[in-house]
């Protein structure tokens, strides 16, 4: 494994093999950086010192968002990563040791901003276990999987402008909720939930009318983030038929601030589960496209925080459980000739495993509140209460391979307005 002149603590999510991109703010204003150990390598500062040569245009390295970098495309992403590896490795940095500090910012001193402007947002429904559980809960007594599920990656268009960076407080939404009498009332949701997801962001796109083949997805996908698709189940349950989720989802979606590149994930590829029936030809790809990313949901209630009690881990899942891969999702989303743009976000849908402890949402973990979670401090939860903080984590870890961590995405529920 490579080593860097930047110290990397042994348990860090961000060794030199990772180098995820984000946008951070200090007194210096929003800059692009890559995380390494407890630090951020400042691309703006490095560009000003002319460390990149022609690896990346100054206007891209000195931008306040990743969108210009996303627009450059795959070859440029690879060239910049190679140059960053050269700059950060112990034996290839061509700047004297005493001059290197100017390129680093402590992560603890930086505020993380949205890594990119989300141009368009699609959320899929690609976990077989999650779709089956939700079918059983939402439509009891009927076949849990609808007939199209095994033929296409089901998805809906979400709201790009309410995607927020981790750390942003989440205001409990109000909406129409069906009452016992059958009529709806307009009230704060009583079934506020999380969805444990990953998402990918695309770069340069296709032209209108030109689908992207599954085997060419790698040229268009820049990297992967953790996504919490906050959901109000009571609002969702009343509105979602026949056109799908709307206001039960669009109030907020949280992203992790660090974008882990596909190149960094390369050593943690995993097989896609067996697909039966065999997908139509446009959904087939030669490569295995899943990733072995251990995922977790942590919950800390307001009471736990006041008492200095650390968060409970309430679920452990893995991105490798996904039935439909990112390549299939992108091929399907463009199969009608729809275009993608730099900054488009495609989320996976809730990722659940087969065991109850691996479910990726509270509605599954508590089976719609029938089996409330018992927390370590004696409290119980069916759905989220005001003051609760939810944190999603993701990390690739396997013997002999570099650890590739995602950091975390968290959000605290604040009362309805």
CA distance 39 to 34: 8
**Cβ at position 69, least distance to Mn ion in Å:** 27
Which stretch in 116-124, 131-139, 317-325, 387-395 sits in contact with Mn ion by CB under 5 A? 116-124
Contact call for residues 255 and 409 (beta carbons, < 8 A): yes
Q: Which is nearer to Mn ion, 16 or 196 (CB)?
A: 196
Which stretch in 216-224, 226-234, 304-312, 314-322 sits in contact with Mn ion by CB under 5 A? 226-234
Which stretch in 174-182, 199-207, 225-233, 273-281 sits in contact with Mn ion by CB under 5 A? 225-233
**Cβ at position 384, least distance to Mn ion in Å:** 15
**Cβ at position 100, least distance to Mn ion in Å:** 42
Closest CA to 234 of 289, 191, 180: 191
Q: Which is nearer to Mn ion, 87 or 170 (CB)?
A: 170
Q: Which is nearer to Mn ion, 123 or 408 (CB)?
A: 123
3-state secondary structure of 158: coil
CA distance 341 to 202: 7
Cα-to-chain-centroid distance, residue 379: 29
DSSP secondary structure code for residue 234 in this structure: H
State yes or no: residue 229 binds Mn ion (CB under 5 A).
Answer: yes
Given the residues 31, 130, 220, 268, the one annotated as active site = 130
* Residues 164-183, mask of contacts with Mn ion (x by CB under 5 A): --------------------
413: left (phi over 0), alpha (psi -120 to 50) or beta: beta
CA distance 342 to 115: 12
State yes or no: residue 195 binds Mn ion (CB under 5 A).
Answer: yes
Q: Which is nearer to Mn ion, 279 or 349 (CB)?
A: 349
Q: Which is nearer to Mn ion, 37 or 296 (CB)?
A: 296
Task: Establish whether 268 is a catalytic residue.
Answer: no
Q: Which is nearer to Mn ion, 195 or 388 (CB)?
A: 195
CA distance 85 to 70: 19
**Cβ at position 46, least distance to Mn ion in Å:** 37
> Locate tokens 């209108």: which residue?
208
State yes or no: residue 312 binds Mn ion (CB under 5 A).
Answer: no
Cα-to-chain-centroid distance, residue 132: 22
State yes or no: residue 42 binds Mn ion (CB under 5 A).
Answer: no
Query: Which of positions 121-150 make contact with Mn ion (CB under 5 A)?
Result: 123
**Cβ at position 61, least distance to Mn ion in Å:** 34
Residue nearest to Mn ion as judged by C-beta position: 229
**Cβ at position 231, least distance to Mn ion in Å:** 7
Cα-to-chain-centroid distance, residue 232: 19
CA distance 259 to 14: 12
Q: Which is nearer to Mn ion, 68 or 296 (CB)?
A: 296
Contacts of 41-49 spanning 24+ positions with Cβ under 8 A: 41/6, 41/84, 41/87, 41/88, 41/103, 41/104, 42/103, 42/104, 42/105, 45/102, 45/103, 46/87, 46/103, 49/95, 49/102, 49/103
Which stretch in 64-72, 134-142, 193-201, 282-290 sits in contact with Mn ion by CB under 5 A? 193-201
**Cβ at position 65, least distance to Mn ion in Å:** 24
The secondary structure element, H or E, covering residue 176 is: strand 174-178
Which stretch in 66-74, 146-154, 221-229, 384-392 sits in contact with Mn ion by CB under 5 A? 221-229
* Total residues interacting with Mn ion, rule: CB under 5 A: 3
CA distance 213 to 326: 12
Positions marked active-site: 130
Which residues of this protein are in contact with Mn ion, per CB under 5 A?
A: 123, 195, 229
């Amino acid at each position: 494994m490579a080593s860097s002149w930047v110290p990397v603590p042994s348990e860090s999510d961000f060794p030199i093999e990772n180098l995820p991109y984000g946008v951070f703010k200090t007194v210096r204003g929003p800059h692009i950086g890559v995380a390494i150990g407890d630090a951020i390598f400042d691309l703006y500062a490095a560009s000003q010192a002319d460390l990149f040569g022609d690896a990346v245009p100054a206007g891209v390295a000195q931008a306040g968002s990743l969108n210009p970098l996303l627009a450059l495309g795959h070859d440029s992403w690879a060239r910049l990563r190679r140059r960053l590896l050269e700059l950060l490795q112990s034996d290839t940095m061509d700047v004297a040791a005493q001059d290197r500090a100017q390129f680093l910012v402590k992560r603890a001193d930086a505020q993380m901003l949205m890594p990119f402007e989300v141009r368009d947002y699609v959320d899929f429904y690609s976990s077989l276990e999650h779709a089956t559980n939700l079918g059983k809960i939402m439509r009891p007594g009927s076949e849990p999987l609808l007939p199209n599920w095994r033929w296409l990656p089901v998805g809906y268009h979400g709201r790009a402008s309410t995607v927020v960076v981790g750390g942003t407080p989440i205001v409990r939404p109000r909406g129409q909720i069906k009452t016992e009498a059958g009529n709806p009332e307009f009230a704060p949701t009583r079934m506020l939930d999380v969805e444990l997801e990953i998402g990918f962001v695309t770069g340069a796109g296709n032209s209108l009318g030109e689908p992207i083949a599954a085997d060419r997805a790698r040229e268009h996908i820049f990297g992967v983030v953790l996504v919490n698709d906050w959901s109000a189940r009571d609002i969702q349950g009343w509105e979602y038929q026949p056109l799908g989720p709307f206001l039960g989802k669009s109030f907020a979606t949280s992203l992790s601030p660090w974008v882990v590149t596909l190149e960094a994930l390369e050593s943690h590829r995993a097989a896609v589960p067996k697909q039966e029936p065999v997908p139509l030809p446009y959904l087939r790809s030669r490569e295995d496209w899943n990733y072995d990313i251990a995922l977790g949901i942590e919950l800390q209630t307001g009471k736990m925080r006041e008492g200095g009690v650390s968060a409970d881990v309430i679920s452990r899942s893995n991105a490798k459980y996904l039935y439909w891969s990112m390549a299939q999702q992108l091929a399907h989303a463009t199969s009608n000739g729809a275009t993608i743009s730099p900054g488009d976000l495609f989320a996976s849908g809730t990722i659940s495993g087969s065991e109850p402890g691996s479910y990726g949402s509270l509605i599954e973990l508590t089976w719609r509140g029938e089996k409330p979670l018992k927390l370590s401090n004696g409290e119980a939860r069916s759905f989220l209460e005001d003051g609760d903080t939810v944190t999603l984590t993701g990390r690739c870890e396997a013997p002999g391979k570099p650890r590739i961590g995602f950091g975390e995405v968290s959000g605290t529920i604040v009362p309805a307005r």
